[in-house]
Amino acid sequence: MNRTTVQDAVTKCPPGEELTLAGWVRTVRASKGGFSFLALNDGSCLANIQIVADGKLSNYDAIAKLPTGSSVVVRGQLVASQGKGQRVEVQAGQIDIVGLADAEKFPIQQKHHSMEFLRTVAHLRGRTNTFGAVWRIRSAVSWAIHEFFQKNGFVYTHTPIITASDCEGAGELFRVSTLDLLNLPRDEKGGLDFDKDFFARATYLTVSGQLEAETLACALGKVYTFGPTFRAENSNTPRHLAEFWMVEPEVAFNDLRDNADLAEAFLKHIFRHVLEHCRADMEFFNERIDNTVIATLEGIVASDFERLTYTQAMEILTKADKTWEFPPAWGRDLQTEHERFLTEQTFKKPVIVTDYPSTIKPFYMRLSDDGKTVAAMDVLVPKIGEIIGGSQREERLDVLERRMRQSNLDPANYWWYVDLRRYGSVPHAGFGLGLERTVQFVTGMANIRDVIPFPRTPRLAEF
RNA sequence: UCCCGGAUAGCUCAAUGGUAGAGCACGCGGCUGUUAACCGCGGGGUUCAAGGUUCGAGUCCUUGUCCGGGAGCCA
């Protein structure tokens, strides 16, 4: 259908233009005096456009009592509005009712709804101001991610969703199988006979594309992946999903410092893009959801991230005049309360913590010369906590194999990953950015379930 | 998974152990330019489930289910 979006009609079309609009009715304000006002939204922007329906329209009686949520196609002339609150409105010449919404049953009313309630009608919640804005921001953030990497010479690669690596150290995995769960094949020892399964081996949904991305980076130089990621953790928090989208750049010849530089430039690009291209939606979030989001993003774009080592962070935390639920100590991981103290009280901006103890980080992170720390890097932001986790990778064959064995992993099971260190091995580094946490940070939405259209969490796979 | 809190009309919420209410939504009526329109009237309830205490339970107790907040795991 050839139609004008509400976005274009409201922002750039000149009065006088004949146009066709299509969308969903938010409200109808009928006047017995002979005409009605429809607030029409088509999802292209936050704003509704006001449609003036004259009583002379042949189907006026039906239009005057159109229920919220009904869909219509409107043909008419864009005119300067006589009323306050909008630059233009549409004087309708024809309004076709496409689909009625049962007013008694349609759950989205023009009133406040709780996020919890809207989650139970996830298929319809995009018709609210809040969720329409979140889905548009999510799209803009995704676009900005591609834009940043494409402009900087990265190759967009695709790593597998189904993987046989069963212990990458990044959490519990979902099993992928075509076996009949009610009639499982057994081998001679009574164990599961995976030879009968689709891939003739145990397979899982990926928890990270990193290992594969490393091999591609060591061929193409600069690569990134951007796709769904799965964690079968029994996590019940406003920051965790069982299925989420992750961006993972990987760059050959980059060290930890390059990696931090990349992460900082990358995040700033995303935030700048959203500030420049999603003004109306961002003003909505700033007004209705969190009145600090715009100032926070502007502040981040204009300043440098704080960088410090894990050891320096521990010094700050142990000297702080504060009683901790988990007292900080070198060798222990940073707790949520520690991260929040650093980002929200000490520095009041994003913080990049590097060089963590090797004992609390996975085998693939590069061991430092002191032998005690690895070239790890976490980017922490206020409220959300860890938004990026990354590292320089271990490129030395002997060190990698030793670290794998220390982690009770058999290098033979990772033969292709280890192989990379045999043929022209180079220093390289990368990180993972959680898309949903980024959208949360940008919009101020409190719960991660409200920044992905159909959230997957323990005991929830509806829709 | 652990700790804390919650579940009452379609939605958001009230209700000292003593007749279950309001706003919004919905229906009807009124209103000649409205802006989450406004004014009047009306219908609407297995108080999450199952037990228990009590003359009497939305309210107190037990168990379960679900939801939220915090923590852990992490992006």
Tens-digit pLDDT profile for residues A352-389: 999 999 999 999 999 999 999 999 999 999 888 899 99
User: In angstroms, rounded to a whole number, what is the distance separating the alpha carbons of residues A443 and A130?
Assistant: 10
Work out the percent of chain A whose per-residue pLDDT is above 70.
98
pLDDT at residue A82, rounded to an integer: 87
The position carrying tokens 């430039």 is A265
Instruction: Report the pLDDT averaged over residues A247-251.
Output: 98
Residue predicted with more confidence, A268 or A166: A268
The position carrying tokens 């309360």 is A337
- Nucleotide B44, nearest residue via CA and C1': A104
- What does each C-alpha distance from A215 to A36, A262, A383 come to in angstroms? 63, 19, 34
Work out the percent of chain A whose per-residue pLDDT is above 90.
79
How long is the CA A169 to C1' B40 vector, in angstroms? 67
The position carrying tokens 């009928």 is A30
CA dihedral A202, A203, A209, A214 (to 10 degrees): 40
How long is the CA A4 to C1' B16 vector, in angstroms? 61
The nt closest to A390 (CA vs C1′) is B75
Show the tokens assigned to A318. Answer: 């142990």
pLDDT at residue A166, rounded to an integer: 60
How long is the CA A116 to C1' B7 vector, in angstroms? 12
How long is the CA A364 to C1' B31 vector, in angstroms? 73
pLDDT in tens, A82-123: 888 889 999 999 999 999 998 888 888 888 889 999 999 999
pLDDT averaged over chain A?
A: 93
How long is the CA A65 to C1' B43 vector, in angstroms? 19
Q: Is the pLDDT of residue A170 over 60?
A: no
State the CB neighbour count (10 A cutoff) for residue A96. 13
Residues 6+ apart with CB under 8 A from A189: none
Per-residue pLDDT band for A169 (boundaries 50, 70, 90) equals low
C-beta separation of A456 from A243 below 8 A: yes
- Nucleotide B30, nearest residue via CA and C1': A32
Per mean pLDDT, which range of A9-13, A108-112, A263-267, A456-460 is the poorest? Answer: A108-112
pLDDT in tens, A315-329: 999 999 888 888 999
Show the tokens assigned to A367. Answer: 């061991």
pLDDT in tens, A392-430: 999 999 999 999 999 888 899 899 999 999 999 999 999
Q: Is the pLDDT of residue A167 over 60?
A: no
For β-strands A243-252 and A306-309, DSSP reports them as: unpaired
Residues 6+ apart with CB under 8 A from A205: A161, A162, A163, A173, A174, A176, A230
Q: pTM of this prediction?
A: 0.94
pLDDT in tens, A184-227: 999 888 888 999 999 999 899 999 999 999 999 999 999 999 99
- Nucleotide B68, nearest residue via CA and C1': A116
pLDDT in tens, A386-400: 999 999 999 999 999
Nucleotides of B under 7 A from a protein CB: 1-2, 10-13, 23-28, 30-37, 66-75
3-state SS of chain A? CCCCCHHHHHHCCCCCCEEEEEEEEEEEEEECCCEEEEEEECCCCCCCEEEEEECCCCCHHHHHCCCCCCEEEEEEEEEECCCCCCCEEEEEEEEEEEECCCCCCCCCCCCCCCHHHHHCCCCCHHHCHHHHHHHHHHHHHHHHHHHHHHHCCCEECCCCCEECCCCCCCCCCCEECCCCCCCCCECCCCCECHHHCCCCCCEEECCCCHHHHHHHHHHHCEEEEEEEEECCCCCCCCCCCCEEEEEEEEEECCCHHHHHHHHHHHHHHHHHHHHHHCHHHHHHHHHHCCCCHHHHHHHHHHCCCEEEEHHHHHHHHHHCCCCCCCCCCCCCCCCHHHHHHHHHHHCCCCEEEEEEEHHHCCCCECECCCCCEEEEEEEEECCCEEEEEEEEECCCHHHHHHHHHHCCCCHHHHHHHHHCCCCCCCCEEEEEEEHHHHHHHHHCCCCHHHCCCCCCECCECCC
pLDDT at residue A325, rounded to an integer: 87
Q: Is the pLDDT of residue A4 over 80?
A: yes
User: In angstroms, rounded to a whole number, what is the distance separating the alpha carbons of residues A366 and A338?
Assistant: 24
Instruction: Report the pLDDT averaged over residues A121-127.
Output: 92
How long is the CA A272 to C1' B65 vector, in angstroms? 45
pLDDT at residue A52, rounded to an integer: 93
Show the tokens assigned to A436. Answer: 């949903």
Phi-psi region at A221: left, alpha or beta (left = phi > 0; alpha = psi -120 to 50): left
Per mean pLDDT, which range of A26-40, A42-56, A79-93, A358-372 is the poorest? Answer: A26-40
Per mean pLDDT, which range of A29-38, A251-260, A332-341 is the poorest? Answer: A29-38
Instruction: Report the pLDDT averaged over residues A24-51.
Output: 90
pLDDT at residue A409, rounded to an integer: 87
